[in-house]
Structure 1
Amino acid sequence: MTTHPGFVFNFQVTKAAEKDKQIVFAGHSSGSPIAIYATVWFLEEYIRSNKKQTSHPPLCLTFASPLTTDHTFCHAVQREGWSDCFVHFVMKLDIIPRILLAPRSSTTELLQKIPRFLDPHHKADEAKLASIFVNVMKNASCVASYAACALTGSKHTLFDTMSRFIKLSPYRPCGKYVFCTETGKLVVMKNPDAVLQLLFYSLQIESETELQKIAVASLKTHWTYKDALDKSLQNLPELPLSSDDTIDIGASLNDLNLCPTARQCLRAAGVSEKQKVDNQKKSVHKKDAINKALKALDDYRTTSENDGVGYYDAFKMQKKEEDFKANVKRLELAAMWNEIIEMIKQEQLPDKFEAEKEWIELGTRFRRLVEPIDIANYYRHSKNEDAGPYMIKGRPRRYHYPQRWREHAEQLERDSSGESCFWAEVEELNIASTNKKAPWKEIENRVLTLEKNLRKWYDKKEVEKDVFLEKSTLVKWWHTLPDNHKANSCIKELIPS
């Protein structure tokens, strides 16, 4: 009988974590991705879930790691604030960290032959190595140039056109990178856009005559990390892994032999990062305006409830001046949140923005107060007859995003936080039952699901009691349901008789 190695690994990690030890995952070359994903597993299992206690975040050290993380992965890691857990060491001449910037079809042969270089008697085909080296660096050039155009806002360029026909590598840097120069200096960099540029520009040849020499060196260097970094790793806590990127770059540009174009790209990466932070600071000023408008809608809701009509139905009927004013606030809030969501889509805000507690709470309050009257407006103008149901065709991104933030932060099931949009289902079920478009058996499960959710949200105070006022659309529709269903309904005690 054998024990699965995964079980042994899990047991060892659990035992070490229980003793509150620092967990370090490390890997070289193709073993690096395993270390990366093991670190993410630990972060999810022990840090984010809060199910298991440990005071030490894990540390992932990789050496000569090929890029295996894409933009989505990097966004998630940065959103959670986990970037500092990943430290990648890259030798200036090593081709392997750049190799997956080229199509897999053109690098498979090289990847298969890499182990042979462990054999000191193996003689490499220098011409073939040079060909593969050129191919990798040409593709790296396309990726870096396209990324640089995006940083500077120059998307309508040759590279933008080329990207429609040439499939660029999806892989991007994630975490801190430590570039090891030929003089033994270490350049620490955290900005992923700057790292991508350095991966390309720090491995350049000055003339065609040294191509084969550099190509061979780019593979031999892959096996020199132990000797080159042995002293540095002995003093790992003293490495400037948390220092300012600009200082490190400025002190070591000459050691990396960067050309003026490379320096411009690094500068653009720094400017882009700073602009995101500035945009976030500006968005803070929107909070006051958002809260003020939400307060006005909250007062409108209270006034409507005092009149015996829920604010959903009051807004839908639009009989009073207060209803008109509420609509103005709805439009103001929609404009402010549309601007924020567009900035997120255009990657003009830091990745951590979506995980900030204040914005998650503000987004949740915004959804619960504004989306119901957005739905009321949608069905008041019969937009469903032209565009279809609100949840399928009409729901704006300004509600999707904050809902997703909350579900992720609180580790809820996807789409379980629909307390702000249940009115759309009420409207659709009302249409189906009132107009006899669907027999009871066809909508029964939908009704049961809606009632179950309403009960849960009401008990958790996520929907207000005005939903169940006698003149409410929900209550009027519920009274039309079959008597045997109403008798056993989980919300019957909330419904006025």
Structure 2
Amino acid sequence: MNDAAGEEEASMFETSHVLGALLASSPLLARAWDRCTAATAAAPGFVVHGEEDGGKVYVGFSGVQAALSAAGAAVAAGGGGADVFAPVGLGGGGDAAAGRMFAPLVAAEPDPATAAGEPVAVQALALQCFLKLCSSPDFQMLLNEIRGKAVVFTGHSLGGAIAALAALHYLCISSSSSPWAPVPPVLCVTFGSPLLGNEALSRAILRERWGGNFCHLVSQHDVVPRLLFCPPDAVPTHIIVGMQLHQWPTRTHQTGAVTTVTMRMADTDKDALRQLIQLHVGAVAMEQKLAAPETTGRSPYRPFGTYVLCSPEGAACVDNATAAVQMLYATFASRSSPGAESPEAAHSCYGELVLKMPQHLLLKRRLRVDDTPSTPNYDDGVSLALEASGIDAMVRAHAMEASTARQWLKTSKRAGRRPSLNCARLATQLGRITPCRAQIEWYKALFDVEMGYYDAFKQRRSPRKYSKVNFNRIKLGQFWDRVLTMLDAGQLPHDFHRRAKWVNAARFYQLLVEPLDIADYHHHGHHRTSGSYMTHGRERRYELFDRWWQEKACTGGDVTSSMSAASASSRRRSKYAGLTQDPCFWARVEEAREQTESARGELDVAELAMKLEELQEFERYSHELVASKEVSVDVFAPQSSYTLWVEEWNQLKLRDEVRTMLLRF
């Protein structure tokens, strides 16, 4: 913490203000807004416009169809949004088609048994409209045409939520076709978009390193980007739907549900609406400050990507989700003259803002006359960021919000740096536990010739040595569980699992220690009481380490689930591996021994044939591992479980009925 504070004092620039000024001065926002208005006017689907400079393609999405489909539901529900804006899971029990379309995000889901185990979910309305759009030939043709080009997906209001889903889908299919290729040149720019997904979606996007591909513009008093912080059953659907339809030039020709929704929106008590939103956004902001927040009954939705908080004075960029919530609350709460700006005006002001912000940068950017020369540039930058987001620190009515926002702008910077500092500290701790790993390696070498360290540990040979190695096994497991807990809690870089140093360290630990966990599991007879180790006894850390290793593309496949791992290897070893490359090899050996024992007394011909086929499959698999030298020398120790199984299997094959059956296979 002291290091972080010292770094803050030495900072010369405030990043959120600098990035906001850079973005506001570029033509990107004005061009994106033009596509949004064109898409809204066209109403159905999307519009495409190619740029001559650099070959960029702008794709604007309309939210009108989403609003029209929700208008009837809003009228029927009396304005509630529990169904229309309920979160829908992308994987597991969610829509199967959506799960395939967003496979990398779903695959990144943590174990449901953990605190961070909520499934990735998005709002029902946006997903429903996107899936319908995705099934159209025009959209599929678009995906083919933009492949390999710089693309800007954009949308206003509900169109922004659909644009974000389109960008996520495009990133997902790009990463699936070439998992280790760079992220395609994609940017999603939304204007006044409602929140799209839950915290699990935000974490999954960060794990895929896609956070920088999303830019959400939010004006100071726009209710739509903040409304889904309310619990789903308290969301006034007619407000979001009505705001979208308010932008539609041909809305006057509509009758029925559309007219009812727009009239209900016009009759809404604006002050009560502001108080409702302020109450729930404030509650979420307060929960983030608690060590153990109570989330029962709260909104599941959370921000992701970069939030650009804008006003006529400029823009401030915040890319930390927690700081984004705090800033969304502070800017919304800082209202010196209630009623001066209607919700409709605040939601439709983005075209005016993208024109005013560059003019402000050109004409009004100046040093504050009341700042002394000794004031650090960093503090100047924070003040400018507050002003750009619509909070004037010099106005007494904004004092509380300015203080909160100032704190969170600084916290955002520290939060961005803290995961890297935690990662550096873990690297130091990893070095300190190296002796634990060395002790297990020494133990392994000690029994390589006699029975192998797996069987020695299982049989508790040399109790004093066993106790020492078991202590080191537990200590190493605790370290890696602590690493995964920090990763789940967002305390480490979200691309931690793709950094070669940690993937390699985790893999080495797994290959060395998991055989001991398997030995302990079978020593206590858990395979009889609880079931197979691979399905009932395996720690979550090993499953995650398998996934990390697969993503690193070092094995060409999942050696823990494929019985052809050796044949998939791209190179052959000249000598046996230091550690057996299938971490579950000994669990497979134990299952093979049980199958062999069961086959000896099997009288049912069909059951015997099935067991013999499984044993033959394991025989082929183990022979491939041995032939490619993917096993350690301890596997061939005279008293190892594998050597004993080979003898038992050879004896079984000598029986006449077994020999006859094997000839049929």
TM-score by length of 2: 0.60
Deviation at 1:251, TM superposition (A): 2.8
Matches within 5 A, 1:43-192: 43-46=171-174, 49-50=177-178, 57-105=185-233, 106-118=235-247, 125-149=266-290, 153=291, 155=292, 160=294, 163-164=295-296, 166=297, 168-181=298-311, 183-192=312-321
Letter matched to residue 193 of structure 2: S
Shift in CA distance, 129/55, structure 1 to aligned 2, threshold 3 Å? closer
Hey, what's the Cα distance between the residues in 1 that align with 2:242 and 2:137?
30
Aligned position for 2:350? 225
Deviation at 1:395, TM superposition (A): 2.6
Number of residue equivalences: 459
Shift in CA distance, 73/486, structure 1 to aligned 2, threshold 3 Å? farther
Tell me, yes or no, if structure 1 residue 24 matches structure 2 residue 152: yes
Hey, what's the Cα distance between the residues in 2 that align with 1:266 and 1:33?
26
Hey, what's the Cα distance between the residues in 2 that align with 1:383 and 1:297?
23
Letter matched to residue 57 of structure 1: P
Deviation at 1:311, TM superposition (A): 2.1
Preserved CA contact (<8 Å) 1:96 1:219: no
Tell me, yes or no, if structure 1 residue 356 matches structure 2 residue 499: yes
Shift in CA distance, 194/110, structure 1 to aligned 2, threshold 3 Å? same
Aligned position for 1:204? 333
Deviation at 1:293, TM superposition (A): 3.4
Shift in CA distance, 118/382, structure 1 to aligned 2, threshold 3 Å? closer
| 1:317-365, Cα deviation, whole Å (9 max, x unpaired) | 3323655543343233223223222323443323222222211111111
Shift in CA distance, 83/347, structure 1 to aligned 2, threshold 3 Å? closer
Aligned position for 1:492? none
Matches within 5 A, 1:6-45: 6-14=139-147, 17=148, 21-45=149-173
SS at match of 1:90: strand
SS at match of 1:420: coil
CA RMSD of aligned residues (A): 3.9
Aligned position for 1:467? 635
- Once the two structures are overlaid, the 10-residue window that deviates more, 136-145 or 411-420, is 411-420
SS at match of 1:169: coil
Letter matched to residue 204 of structure 1: A
Deviation at 1:488, TM superposition (A): 10
Hey, what's the Cα distance between the residues in 1 that align with 2:658 and 2:204?
44
Preserved CA contact (<8 Å) 1:407 1:416: no
Shift in CA distance, 468/206, structure 1 to aligned 2, threshold 3 Å? same
Matches within 5 A, 1:335-414: 335-385=478-528, 387-410=530-553
Aligned position for 1:195? 324
Shift in CA distance, 366/292, structure 1 to aligned 2, threshold 3 Å? same
Deviation at 1:176, TM superposition (A): 1.4
Preserved CA contact (<8 Å) 2:174 2:184: no
Deviation at 1:180, TM superposition (A): 0.5
Deviation at 1:231, TM superposition (A): 6.3
SS at match of 2:217: strand
Preserved CA contact (<8 Å) 1:341 1:397: no
Preserved CA contact (<8 Å) 2:533 2:587: yes
| Structure 1: runs of 5+ lacking an equivalent | 237-243, 490-497
| 1:5-63, Cα deviation, whole Å (9 max, x unpaired) | 1221122112xx1xxx4222222221223322333333334357437977963222222
Preserved CA contact (<8 Å) 2:187 2:213: yes
Deviation at 1:414, TM superposition (A): 10
- Once the two structures are overlaid, the 10-residue window that deviates more, 249-258 or 117-126, is 117-126
Among 565, 570, 582, which residue is 1:419 paired with?
582
Hey, what's the Cα distance between the residues in 1 that align with 2:643 and 2:174?
45
- Once the two structures are overlaid, the 10-residue window that deviates more, 185-194 or 312-321, is 312-321
Shift in CA distance, 230/262, structure 1 to aligned 2, threshold 3 Å? closer
| Structure 2: runs of 5+ lacking an equivalent | 1-134, 253-261, 362-376, 392-397, 563-580
TM-score by length of 1: 0.78
Preserved CA contact (<8 Å) 1:187 1:249: no
Preserved CA contact (<8 Å) 2:270 2:343: no
Hey, what's the Cα distance between the residues in 1 that align with 2:142 and 2:378?
35
Point out the structure with the larger helix share: 1
Aligned position for 2:456? 314
Letter matched to residue 46 of structure 1: S
Hey, what's the Cα distance between the residues in 2 that align with 1:464 and 1:302?
11
Aligned position for 1:494? none
Shift in CA distance, 379/274, structure 1 to aligned 2, threshold 3 Å? same
| 1:123-162, Cα deviation, whole Å (9 max, x unpaired) | 763444444443333222222221222xxx2x2xxx62xx
Tell me, yes or no, if structure 1 residue 480 matches structure 2 residue 648: yes
